[in-house]
Amino acid sequence: MTATAISTTALTKRYGPHQALRELNLTVPTGEIFGLLGHNGAGKTTIVNLLTTLMEPSSGTAEINGHDITTAATAVRRSIGYLPENVQFYDNLTLAENLIFFARLSGVRSVGSRISEVLDFLDFSGHENQRMGTFSKGMRQRAGIAQAILHEPSVLFLDEPTSGLDPQGVAKLRETIISLNTKLGMTIFMNTHLLAEVTKTCTSIGILSSGTLIYQDSVDATLKSFPDQESLEDIYLHIEAGQRA
Amino acid sequence: MNRWTAVIAHELLCTMRERLPQVLLAVFVGMVAASAFIGSSARASVTGVYSEAVRQGLTTVPNPFDSLSPLYYARNSVIYIVLIGALLAIVVGVYSTLRDRQARTMDLVLSRDVRPSFYLSAKLAGLGLFTALLLAVSAVISIACISVVAGRIISVDDGARLVGLYAVAWLFILPFLCLGMLAGLYATSVTSALLIPIVVWSVTIFILPLLGTAAHPVSLLNPVASPPAIQSGFFAVTSNLVNPLSLGEHFKHAGALILADPQATGTVTTSIWTILAFAIAACVAVIMTRRGRMRSALHD
């Protein structure tokens, strides 16, 4: 039986009268690279905010590695890594100074050696003493991944990780995400708009529309289930259109 | 290094790398040193004229500076703390919390095993340490300069009074530090985050004392607190209302008494308790800020 990394039961989030998430039931098995797709305002970031314990749900529950996000938030935080969209970091500090801060906040014991290990893994060594203010968008994203995995989390949340990256940056980040999954065994949950990337990176997908999960399956099964559609993008648009109809 | 000290070390590092606090820091320390230089040159000029008058037999009175306590030369430091020290504290506080919101690093912090109250209190401790170091440096400069001006090392008692002044100064600028942090947490734009606390500062330092004492505006730049208003009519009412809130006047009053200024009267206790109450209330307000507020986005 496959272990479950992420599970939600009737997870709901309301902002005043607006219902951002409606009774979401989602399961992500351990070891998956799960891509959450959806239009702007569909509720993708809300899900990530709830699962990373940054927000509390209005109703329903969710568990990360069996830990409830509300009643065992501390255990959840210890087992996850998170890279928000468009994170900037402390521009006046060097990469090493930024990572040292986040490593210490995460309770990492041998900070120096762990940072070297992570930067080597990400093929990002040599930039430690460079100020973050001089980094390109792609370098920032890699720094973001580095801070997210310093404490060796088992589940990694990435919110629009490829947003604003050039094609080389996207390819490099894809390699990194896949190696985090295959070499370190991390379960990865990512929100994305780039449907072509999902086919190349993710093992399973979910489609969110106006706060409701309307589809979930593996990428392979999805491609087989819609033989008349040419790409995942077509499948996504087809499912979304079906939902609206 | 645990999480608490990690945040403190991080706060010190970030603050020292920011440009505006660096400039204000230089101005503040420079003003403390300049006040000693002005005192020194005033003393040298007056003593020169006095010596010439004595040489020509025009006077037999003692040198007016001989009767002055060495602490007299430090009295202007009080006003520099009220003006530049408090502003520096506001700017440092604003940058501290605004930095996390601008760089969107708050989510990175709060998705770790770090409670909002823990993080904010550690940041506050870091900034408190920064301002304490700043005031300690100013105290050392002040003691050194006064010793040079007075031509002798100041006594232990005078040294203790100066240290006491800077200790109360730290307590005095703590509410402004917190005010800056709160503005950085609650403001919707960078501009308002910087402007709002400066408006509050100017009201506290200038407007409230004017309402309570009818003092001439320029007299508020005097290092000794304004005298109480006449005990009848409009100012008798407003004085009771605004006097507890006139934080700058309380500090000037306490500072003048600590420096044994002959113009200062009364006791230091009420002023210090008032400053302490403000400091505690401001720290509690910062620490109680909620997670959602800390994560809120800026509109610019």
Model pLDDT for residues B91-124, shown as the tens digit of each residue: 999 999 999 998 889 999 999 999 999 999 999 9
Q: How far apart are CA A116 and CA A3, in angstroms?
A: 31
Contact: A101, B6; criterion CB under 8 Å = yes
Whether A62 contacts A23, CB under 8 Å: no
Across the range B237-254, mean pLDDT stands at 85
Residue B186: inside a domain, yes or no? Answer: yes
Query: What's the domain count of chain B?
Result: 1
Whether A36 contacts A73, CB under 8 Å: no
Contact: B295, A53; criterion CB under 8 Å = no
Across the range B245-253, mean pLDDT stands at 90
pLDDT at B26 over 70: yes
Residue B36 tokens read as: 């000693």
> Which class is A4-244 in CATH?
alpha beta
Q: How far apart are CA A140 and CA B44, in angstroms?
A: 59
Q: Does B109 touch chain A (CB under 8 A)?
A: yes
Q: For chain B, what percent of residues have pLDDT higher than 70? A: 94
What pairing do the DSSP bridges indicate for beta strands A155-159 and A187-191?
parallel
Confidence class for position B262, pLDDT limits 50, 70, 90: confident
pLDDT at B230 over 70: no
Q: For residue A190, list its beta bridge partners.
A: A35, A158
Q: Does A107 touch chain B (CB under 8 A)?
A: yes
Q: What is the pLDDT of residue B39?
A: 73
Contact: A74, B291; criterion CB under 8 Å = no
Residue whose entry in the numeric block shows the structure tokens 């306590």: B69
Average pLDDT of chain A, as a whole number: 91
Q: What is the pLDDT of residue B218?
A: 65
Residue B189: inside a domain, yes or no? Answer: yes
Contact: A53, B108; criterion CB under 8 Å = no
The residue length of chain A stands at 245
Average pLDDT of chain B, as a whole number: 87
pLDDT at B34 over 90: no
Residue A147: its chain B contacts at CB < 8 A? 108
ipTM over 0.95: no
Whether A205 contacts A35, CB under 8 Å: yes
Q: How far apart are CA A83 and CA A93, in angstroms?
A: 19
Contacts of A146 (CB under 8 A, 6+ apart): A95, A99, A115, A118, A119, A122, A124
Residue B17: inside a domain, yes or no? Answer: yes
Residue A90: its chain B contacts at CB < 8 A? 14, 99, 103, 105
Across the range A178-201, mean pLDDT stands at 90
Handedness of CA B85, B87, B90, B95 (dihedral sign): negative
A and B: number of Cβ contacts within 8 A: 65
Across the range B33-51, mean pLDDT stands at 79
Residue B2: its chain A contacts at CB < 8 A? 104
pLDDT at A238 over 60: yes
Of B296, B279, B224, residue with least CA distance to B254 = B224
Q: Does B192 touch chain A (CB under 8 A)?
A: no
Q: In this predicted structure, which of A141-150, A187-196, B214-223 has the lowest mean pLDDT? A: B214-223
Strands (E), chain A: 4-15, 18-29, 33-38, 59-64, 67-68, 80-83, 155-159, 187-191, 204-209, 212-218
Confidence class for position B232, pLDDT limits 50, 70, 90: low
Q: What is the pLDDT of residue B231?
A: 64
Q: What is the pLDDT of residue B93?
A: 96
Residue B30: inside a domain, yes or no? Answer: yes
Contact: A87, B104; criterion CB under 8 Å = yes
Q: Please write the tens of the pLDDT for every residue from A69-100.
A: 999 999 999 999 999 988 889 999 999 999 99
Residue A221 tokens read as: 């099964």
Q: What is the pLDDT of residue B44?
A: 79
Strand order in the sheet with A18-29: A18-29, A4-15, A59-64, A67-68
Closest residue on chain A to B118 (Cα): A105
Residue B300: inside a domain, yes or no? Answer: no
Q: Who among A84, A90, A147 is closest to B99 (CB)?
A: A90
User: In terms of residue numbers, what domain contains B242?
Assistant: 3-295
Residue A43 or residue B59, greater confidence: A43
Of A187, A193, A235, residue with least CA distance to A65 = A187
Across the range B201-207, mean pLDDT stands at 90
Picking from B3, B92, B97, B113 by the largest number of A CB atoms within 10 A of its own CB, the best residue to mutate is B113
What pairing do the DSSP bridges indicate for beta strands A4-15 and A80-83?
unpaired
Q: What is the pLDDT of residue B216?
A: 66
- The vertex-B230 CA angle with B227 and B231, nearest 5°, equals 120
Residue B77: inside a domain, yes or no? Answer: yes
Q: Who among B13, B17, B105 is closest to A87 (CB)?
A: B105
Residue A129 tokens read as: 């003493």
Confidence class for position B233, pLDDT limits 50, 70, 90: confident
**DSSP, res A129:** T
Confidence class for position A2, pLDDT limits 50, 70, 90: low
Q: Does A82 touch chain B (CB under 8 A)?
A: yes
Contact: B102, A78; criterion CB under 8 Å = no
Q: Please write the tens of the pLDDT for every residue from B149-202.
A: 777 788 899 889 999 999 999 999 999 999 999 999 999 999 999 999 999 999
